[in-house]
Structure 1
Amino acid sequence: MIFVFRMKHTLLFFIFLNFLAVRAQYQFKGQLTEEDTGKIIYLSIIEDYRRSSRVYLDQVIGRTSTDSLGNFVFEGDNLSELNNIYRIHTDECLPNEIENTHFLGNCGTTQSILFIASNTDSVLLPKTLNDESFCAISSTNVKSELLLKILALKNEMAFDFSEIRGDASKKLNLKKWFSRWHQFGEASQEPLAELFIYGFLSDRQSETYRYYLEDLALNPYYEALLDRLKTSYPTAAFTKLYEEELRADQYLIDMDVSSDQTSSWWIYLLLGLSILLNTYFLLGWKKRKNDSSQVAQLSAQEERIARAMAHGKTNKEIAQEFFISLSTVKTHVNSIYKKLNVNTREEIKTILFK
């Protein structure tokens, strides 16, 4: 009896699992305005956060059209079980233009919405009270509307910066906003939302890029985000892309630091050499000046005798050259030694011929 009871419960359990598997499918539906009825609606998956600003042909995974009331729906079970970023959009291009200009930014009045979802989510994109499409989300996934909130906050940031003047004020404002974005991202508990934020803050074409590099050099947030991505989306392409970009930017920072250190080393070296040379020439100038003042103390005869001494002539040779007595030469020599403050003829030579 116990065996039969267990078999019955096991069978019921597998039936329940099969039921869940059948029900495990997504449904994304919405409604456009009446004037948009009959339009083509496209569903895209965005696996590269660098390509979220506009529609790309290779991102499109589904296409449908609205009914007479403007309703549309995408459903199936072919999406990832993990969260991903999706876009639903429509535009004024004709379907047969898809290979030419359709996804190259040339279509007029494109309407779109970005959201986070998985293969098991039901997402509703209703019209607003103002009869606007793609402005609101109702979903079984509480994280679906995070991207709408981020875009609204991004507009607030742009407005905030429009009133800022001066580089110092901009840097302070960037510090405030980066902190605010990081806090928002962590509070969302969704690394995909953080990655979406990172995408535009680290954009090389953006004014935020230079500050991002400064922040990356000091802030542990970016490594923590990598850990969160590896935990939640270990095999996703965007996790690998983020890690590669992070390492490339860190290498760039290290190269700048190394370059700055090398430049500083050369600056210090040149500064040291300059100080040494200036000291050398200054001391030499002072010594030459001092030597000149000492030589100036000599009489004309003493200077002539001193120069003869410097050329290596003996007292006797000097006496013969200047037609004076040897004792007179000795008297002049003693006077020269005292006035020049020297003890040898070599020192006299150094003073006179330097």
Structure 2
Amino acid sequence: MKFQKYLLIVLLCFPFIGIAQYQFTGEVDKDNWPEAVYLSLIEDYRKLSGVYPEQIIQKTQPDSLGIFIFVGDHLPKGNHIYKIQTHNCSGTEEDNVHFDGFCPKSKEILFIAKNTDTIALPFSFDQEMFCKVVSTNQKSDAFIKIDSLIHEMQYAFGKYRSTTSQKINAAKWLTTLQDYAQEQNEPLLELYVYSFLSNKSNELHKYYLEDLKQNAYYDELLNRLQQQYPESPYTEQYRMELASDRFLSNPEEHTAKKPWLPIIAILLLLSVVLNLFQLYHHRKKKAVSHLLKEQNLTPQEQKILELILQDKTNKEIATTIFVSVSTVKTHINNLYKKLNVASREEVKSLYTSS
């Protein structure tokens, strides 16, 4: 049975050996994640996280060691956003909680790839799965790096709650996230940052609308998308959302200058409906996540959760449970995903409200 382990390494180091043009391989913890593994092609950047059947392009069952592989030659030639995901919900639970994509008992990882790439998802430290990407495509693991920056930003926002501090931090992190994504020379990474900043349930949304009034970055991103992805749904979706958000940020100016007010009004209405829709599902996610938290968290995550509720810092938590700070950060990241929150304050709010 060790053959599959060696095959995973060989496929990564010598991709030309494979017959198919792309090879996406990895491992899952069969004891805790026994279900099938899914490969999804994501063309709607508002549906990056969750279970969406219309996105799934391939399904496979891990072998007895937990190794899985996706192979083929039917993917788009250029870079696209992909997701590999598994869950451990029973059939009954799927019906109850897989509502419009939401699944509280799932593990997933995003990456960028094209039809000729070799991707491997090995276990990282502490045998964590879906936390590391090894690839022939230099862009593949950038989502993980951006997530790390976002978690730093969320920690800064949670630590200093004053309006003045948040305004200063918002300006800093808007620039930091946008600059990092742009430096990667891949507009899809910039879309990932944009989808986070422009999310109406995000604390940064009001600062994003202010930034939109004066920052040429957003038009420049549209130009980059049109040049590299001229026929892509990504580009058209971004163009439409940008127009809608511009109206939200400065309706008076656009009413005076634009003769196509009815179109903008429709976009605004759609934006409001989407906002209410996201708010409804945000509340539903929190409620279902809280309901399933006891059976969903590992013993180590339970300990870290208790220490977070006691206002312990990462360093204090690491000292208490005898692990490194980086390991604590990884556990906290997984804890956030399972509870469907983005910061310590949201964790505390979830349990306080209960």
- Aligned residue in 1 for 2:81: 85
- Aligned residue in 1 for 2:191: 195
Letter in 2 for 1:167: T
Letter in 2 for 1:29: T
Per-residue CA deviations over 1:13-62 (Å, capped at 9, x if unaligned) read xxxxxxx9x96621111011242474210111111111113221211111
Structure 2 unaligned residues grouped into runs of 5+ = 1-15, 257-354
Radius of gyration: which is bigger? 1
User: Which of 65, 70, 94 matches 2:66?
Assistant: 70
Partners of 1:164 and 1:227 lie apart in 2 by 36
User: Which of 34, 43, 55 matches 1:47?
Assistant: 43
- Aligned residue in 2 for 1:304: none
Letter in 2 for 1:79: L
Question: SS at the partner of 2:127?
Answer: coil
Partners of 2:27 and 2:36 lie apart in 1 by 12
- Aligned residue in 2 for 1:325: none
Per-residue CA deviations over 1:162-188 (Å, capped at 9, x if unaligned) read 111221211111000011011101111
User: Which of 23, 29, 32 matches 2:28?
Assistant: 32
- Cα distance change, pair 191–164 in 1 and its aligned pair in 2 (3 A): same
Aligned identity (percent) is 43
1:159 is aligned to 2:134: no
Q: CA deviation at 1:109?
A: 2.6
TM-score, scaled relative to structure 1: 0.63
Per-residue CA deviations over 1:226-253 (Å, capped at 9, x if unaligned) read 1111111110001001011111222333
- Aligned residue in 1 for 2:145: 149
Letter in 1 for 2:207: Y
Partners of 2:232 and 2:88 lie apart in 1 by 33
Per-residue CA deviations over 1:294-338 (Å, capped at 9, x if unaligned) read xxxxxxxxxxxxxxxxxxxxxxxxxxxxxxxxxxxxxxxxxxxxx
1:171 is aligned to 2:167: yes
- Aligned residue in 2 for 1:234: 230
Structure with more relative contact order (C-alpha pairs < 8 Å, separation 6 or more) = 2
- Cα distance change, pair 80–106 in 1 and its aligned pair in 2 (3 A): closer
Question: SS at the partner of 1:147?
Answer: helix
Q: CA-atom RMSD, angstroms?
A: 2.4
Letter in 1 for 2:50: R
1:128 is aligned to 2:124: yes
- Aligned residue in 2 for 1:14: none
Partners of 1:239 and 1:75 lie apart in 2 by 28
Question: SS at the partner of 1:62?
Answer: strand
Structure 1 unaligned residues grouped into runs of 5+ = 1-19, 261-354
Q: CA deviation at 1:130?
A: 1.2
Per-residue CA deviations over 1:111-140 (Å, capped at 9, x if unaligned) read 111111111101000012311110101001
* Contact 2:42/2:82 (<8 A) preserved: yes
Letter in 2 for 1:41: V
1:204 is aligned to 2:200: yes
Partners of 1:158 and 1:221 lie apart in 2 by 23
- Aligned residue in 2 for 1:111: 107
Partners of 2:92 and 2:74 lie apart in 1 by 26
- Aligned residue in 2 for 1:243: 239
* Contact 1:40/1:65 (<8 A) preserved: yes
Partners of 1:233 and 1:258 lie apart in 2 by 28
TM-score, scaled relative to structure 2: 0.63
Q: CA deviation at 1:212?
A: 0.7
